[in-house]
Structure 1
């Protein structure tokens, strides 16, 4: 019995080690045909201002798609510029935690846990806030005169983003389901659906 238990523990340990670190025989992953030098480990795409958006939040992302050195690293990041009054609507990242650093200005941020408890704070330049994997959260620049800049890092090469208003009211879910779920009228559901298009 004791030998069987030891064998089971050893088997689970080695299976877990293999499952969590498949590239343990290499320092990093190199795409086929790519030259390796300092440039391989350097990304310059954050220079300059991000492209303009319609929601007042301009973004530049750093992912494996545009920075191949991230392959196998399990990380990615994003530069966000919030126009005065801009709100990054409630959303989740189902495949990774997020840590946000405020580079300039001020942001109000918050996240909820699985019981619906809200944890929020007002961040200033130099502050950091963490959003656990899959938890609903938001960021807002309530300053009506000044922009705010933040850098978010993710514990995943593709943390994914589920924009709750768009994914709920822009998904063609039956209006009756949404009206009952949010305890709102069918007319309000139609207005919310129209605003997501």
Structure 2
């Protein structure tokens, strides 16, 4: 199969670039021409890399202050009562002291229909393989004492998604994602709130940064790092560059200490074994913490190796990048062109009501996409003769294999916002309309029997997004009966 829907994740893309304005320093200079009236740039400047040195904007809080719980939801998680979420306006993944509030995006239909996956009984553990999973919903792993939760999508839920996997993680105010490292590279986009992240590389160089809604980080496989929510909490999407990656296989420092002889720990840390009398007897995973100092410099620890250079930074202030605005929406891209440490290329795409992301395909990479807002549909064509149309809502995931053509059409009355991710060194896509317009008209006419006027009307630039209207029964999109400027 070529595509599926699921609850989590993100990614789709294009070589979306404009020549209409002067490029910032170190910005890609080879750019596809965009439509008339387009403004801005697809890429941001190198100054967005690394620690910004200023306090993050905390206006976009991840705190959910008003919500309703159903009968049984406050009972101990191990009791495992059935939770009827059907009548709740905005259900929350809470059982007793497990889990935490969900600021969204939320696919309410799936959550209400699958309460035992959305708010797991405390007796559930891990993932049961080869079970039939409800389409669009992944398991919800709770943190300790209301500190948050995580839910993932990998090849267990979407077998076709071999190139990338995703985790939606929520941290309550001041909560930690325990010190850890992964077997796969971790790219992240902050959906709500703000966090403080830190990491160390193999040279003993360190980095610490405060990030807020819309910002990005990337930590390569094996790099140890820390994540703590600031005062308004946080929710973020994690995209891993391995479709079989499982959050349950994360290497945790608490488990490292539990699985290593205390005598060895004492020798390594130059202390007595009594120092380890109070270490946790189980993994912490997600747990409450004390507030981080307001001033980042108080935790900006460096050793003989110094700090990781800014041009090799593992954080990127994507929220400060202005979008490339075209008729019908906008696009902005962060990929290894401007964020060199990453193995993931991502476009943040906004599609206005009635508009659509033009028909295209990606030549070298599968696409993993995550819907942040709105409703949309995608039809995927898989050679030689298969095609299928899927409907998406916020919180859903789509997966499209390399070279398979597709579009994304907004089918609602609010903007669609999605992340389009490729595991690639650069965003690339092929526009079907542009390809036809740059093919000799005789060839197009002989092949698919279009009229001369229709062929002349196809623009020679990349459209990225095509405007429309919210009358979804419209069938005539001729522009004043005249050829569109090329």
For normalisation by structure 1, the TM-score amounts to 0.72
Contact 1:81 / 1:150 at 8 angstroms: preserved in 2? yes
1:10 aligns to what?
none
Equivalent in 54, 79, 84 of residue 353 of structure 2: 84
Contact 1:80 / 1:150 at 8 angstroms: preserved in 2? yes
| Change beyond 3 A, Cα 1:88–1:196 | farther
Instruction: List gaps (5 residues or longer) in structure 2.
Output: 1-202, 204-218, 221-306, 460-482
1:140 aligns to what?
409
Whether 1:52 aligns to 2:321 is no
Q: Which range is displaced more, 43-52 or 101-110?
A: 43-52
Deviation at 1:189, TM superposition (A): 1.8
Deviation at 1:85, TM superposition (A): 1.0
1:56-79: CA deviation from partner (whole Å, max 9, x where unpaired): 131111111111222xx3x21111
Larger radius of gyration: 2
Deviation at 1:46, TM superposition (A): 3.5
Q: Which range is displaced more, 184-193 or 78-87?
A: 184-193
| Change beyond 3 A, Cα 1:162–1:43 | same
Contact 1:57 / 1:82 at 8 angstroms: preserved in 2? yes
Count of residues in Structure 1 that have an aligned counterpart in Structure 2:
160
Post-superposition, which runs of at least 4 consecutive aligned residues in structure 1 deviate over 4 A?
Answer: none
Matching of residues 153-172 of structure 1 within 5 Å: 153-169=421-437, 171=438
1:16-49: CA deviation from partner (whole Å, max 9, x where unpaired): xxxxxxxxxx996xxxxxx616981101123476
Mapped partners of 1:196, 1:150: distance in 2: 29
For normalisation by structure 2, the TM-score amounts to 0.31
Q: Specify the SS of the correspondent of 2:319.
A: coil
Instruction: List gaps (5 residues or longer) in structure 1.
Output: 1-25, 29-34
2:452 aligns to what?
186
1:67 aligns to what?
339
Q: Specify the SS of the correspondent of 2:371.
A: strand
Q: Which range is displaced more, 185-194 or 80-89?
A: 185-194
Mapped partners of 1:46, 1:82: distance in 2: 18
Matching of residues 94-105 of structure 1 within 5 Å: 94-105=363-374
Matching of residues 107-118 of structure 1 within 5 Å: 107-118=376-387
